[in-house]
Structures are given as C-alpha cells and as structure tokens.
Structure 1
Amino acid sequence: MQKKLPLSFYKRDVHTVARELLGKIFVKQDKDAVLSGRIVEVEAYDGSIDMAAHSFNGKTPRNSVMFEEGGRLYVYFTYGMHYCANVVTGNVDEGCAVLIRAVEPVEGIDAMALNRYGKTNLNGREKLNLTNGPAKFCKAFGIDKTYNGLILTGEKIFITGGDNLKPGEITASKRIGIKKSTELEWRYYIRNNRYISKK
C-alpha cells in the first residue's frame, strides 16, 4: 500500500486539492475487511464566496468541522436518510471542503456490497451503482456521523497516493443537486470513467 497523504496535502486551495484527489485511493479499515476505492468524482465548496457551501453563513454545530484545518473528514446527514463525506481543505476558519461524489471500488467489494445491498452476488448494473454517488459511497463504506471530524492520517480512514492524472484527464462541470451558486463549474471528475455519478 502506498503512503498516506500528509496533512500538508489538504492544507491548500480547495480546487487544487479537489483535482489532485482524483485518482487517489480512499481507504477504510474495518474490523473484518479493508475497503478501498479510487476517487473518480468530487465537488469543491468554498464558504467565502459559495452560497451552496454549508459554511457560507458562518460556523454552526453542524458545520464546525469545515472550519478546522485541512485533513479532516466532514460527514453530514441529508434528506433525512443519507450521509455524505467531505475532505476539509485549507487553514482554520476558511470553511472549505471537497465532497467525494464517487469512487471506483478496488478492495473489499463484498463488504461494500453487503453494506449497500445486503448481498454479495451482484449483477453488472449493481456493481456500477455500488459507489457512484455521494450517499452510495458512504453507505457502501459504512461511513456515518461517527466519523465526522476524523483526521485523515489515522488508522481508521485515510487516503493514499494513487494516479497522478494529467490535466486532459480531468473534466470540470457544474455541480449536481444544488440550488445556489449553480453557475460555478466546481465538479471535477475523471474523463470517461465508468463509475462517475452522472455522465
């Protein structure tokens, strides 16, 4: 396994981190299995100028992790049923984070399948849909609010070096499922990857 990304990786501009997270490997150490996936789609959120960011209107108990220094996991509950996981970036009080929208499963696929579908024998469509969305990713990896604030250099959840992509392999587009700051092309994904959430 490659080395964990250092905290210095995360303490940078949110868009730089977002693009460079693509191709990296997200790892979760469970008691019975190691789950890992290649990050293939993300969205950047910057509370200083971005009305869609949870941090735009200032610090609250819900979003306080976004205001800590880069290198923590920010997990929130949405629509009364789903969890979403973000990587906090930048320095203290900046309020920036990168939403992990989709990963390509690498290791522990049976455990992911049990978490998502309650079974391990998946058809082709189920395999493609296993982690191709922010809520699907969290459910497959068993990520909930108990992981909110976790430092990404520990033993439970971390990100390792993977592919260093060339600029031409990354596509930028408008973000998905938001109602504010919809004009910003802050969604980044690996071009032609089968596991992105929306073509």
Structure 2
Amino acid sequence: MIISKEFYNRSALDVAQDLLGKVLVREVDGKVLKGKIVETEAYIGAIDKACHAYNGRRTKRTEILYEDAGVSYIYFIYGLYHCFNVVTNKKDVAEAVLIRAIEPINELDYISNIRYNKKYDELTKAQSKNLTNGPSKLCLAYLLNKDLNAVKLYEKGAVYITDDNNETFEIVESKRIGIDYAEEAKDFLWRFYIKDNIYVSKK
C-alpha cells in the first residue's frame, strides 16, 4: 500500500524513524525496483545548521523544502552524486528526511549491472554490501536523479514509498554523518537506522 500524504505531514524526526522498514519503489525501464529503507537522517530548517534551509534560507534549490509534505527533494553534491530526500511537515515549514541506505529486495541483477556491470552472483561480498549502503550509492543503483525532484511520493509513478513490511526491529539513534561544519547541530542524534542491518552505511 502506498503511504498517504498525511504520513509525511509531521516532524522530520518522527517521519525519519517511521520510514525505517518502509519500501522505496522505483519504476524504470519496464521494471519495478524495491528496496527497504534501513537508514535515515532528519533535517529541520528552523534550528538545524546542517539543513539547506537553515534560518529561513530560500533559494531556487531549497524552495521545494517549503512545499507540501510528501514530495521528493533530490540534490547534487560534489558535482558527482545525488541524494534523495523526503519533504516533511506542513507547507512553509522546511524539513526533510534524507534516505541514507536501503536494503535491495528484488531485481538484484539489474541494479548490480548498473553499479558494477556484473550479475549479482558475480559480486564480491564487499560489492554486494556496497550496492546501496549510502545515499549516493542508492541513487546510482535506483537511477534517482534531479529529473525526479518534486515528485509526489504518495502517488503511484516513477518513485513512491509503500508500507508492505511487517517485520519488527530495533532502531538505533546516532549523530548524522558528514556535517562537521554544522557547529552544535553536528551532535544532534538525528540519524536513525535498523540495528544490525548490513546495509547501514556506518554503525
């Protein structure tokens, strides 16, 4: 079942935790790719110096963060990689959740070929783990790019998120990664991941 718009219309901190275990779906090339979300990070513009919209900053790139909840925010970093985020909370409140890692569920040969030009059973153990255990890696594997910015994730389309997973798990809270510039915000425990999942980017 596709997750409703209302699910996202809450604090990024709540959505970041509740997205764990949900399934990211990418329809592309006649295939339906699925991956379980196993690691997230919350970003809250009002108080978070790591957020692109900190202190009310509004630019052409960040304007999407002020839109209604439940749309994608995909940006380019280092001139090389994309990062996939979910906009949360109500309109004009700039918050989002970064999807940091997913566990691939199906079409393993397809995404392995994209990442390594090999079939899944030809990958080394390290390569199989590295398929989607980071924000840019999952965007590469699932062909997520800026063409999919501002997509409504609560509607069936090129990318959306479903709640098809009933497993139970323990959630770990920790500091976010790669934001040492963010002063006090670098110490916020706003990264969440499924304990012991091998696809988590960093324990």
Indicate the TM-score class for this superposition, using the shorter chain for normalisation: over 0.9
Report the equivalent of 2:62.
Answer: 63
Report the equivalent of 2:19.
Answer: 21
Report the equivalent of 2:36.
Answer: 38
- The runs of at least 4 aligned residues of structure 1 exceeding 3 Å deviation read 162-166
Report the equivalent of 1:154.
Answer: 156
Report the equivalent of 1:140.
Answer: 141
CA distance in 1, matches of 2:88, 2:76: 20
* Superposed displacement of residue 118, structure 1: 2.2
Structure 1 unpaired stretches of 5+: none
Report the equivalent of 2:173.
Answer: 172
* Superposed displacement of residue 174, structure 1: 0.3
* Superposed displacement of residue 164, structure 1: 5.4
User: How high is the TM-score relative to the length of structure 2?
Assistant: 0.93
* Superposed displacement of residue 70, structure 1: 0.8
Report the equivalent of 1:190.
Answer: 194
Output the amino acid matched with 1:95: A
CA distance in 1, matches of 2:152, 2:91: 14
* Superposed displacement of residue 154, structure 1: 2.9
* Superposed displacement of residue 13, structure 1: 1.2
* Superposed displacement of residue 114, structure 1: 1.9
CA distance in 1, matches of 2:88, 2:160: 14
CA distance in 2, matches of 1:184, 1:106: 31
State how many pairs are aligned.
196
Q: Evaluate the alpha carbon distance shift between residue 165 and residue 89 of structure 1 in structure 2; reply closer, same or farther with a 3 A threshold.
A: farther
Q: Does 1:54 align with 2:66?
A: no
User: How high is the TM-score relative to the length of structure 1?
Assistant: 0.94
Report the equivalent of 2:110.
Answer: 111
Give me the identity figure in percent.
Answer: 43
Q: Evaluate the alpha carbon distance shift between residue 98 and residue 165 of structure 1 in structure 2; reply closer, same or farther with a 3 A threshold.
A: farther
Output the amino acid matched with 1:142: L
Within 5 A, what are the aligned runs for 1:95-106? Answer: 95-106=94-105
* Superposed displacement of residue 19, structure 1: 0.4
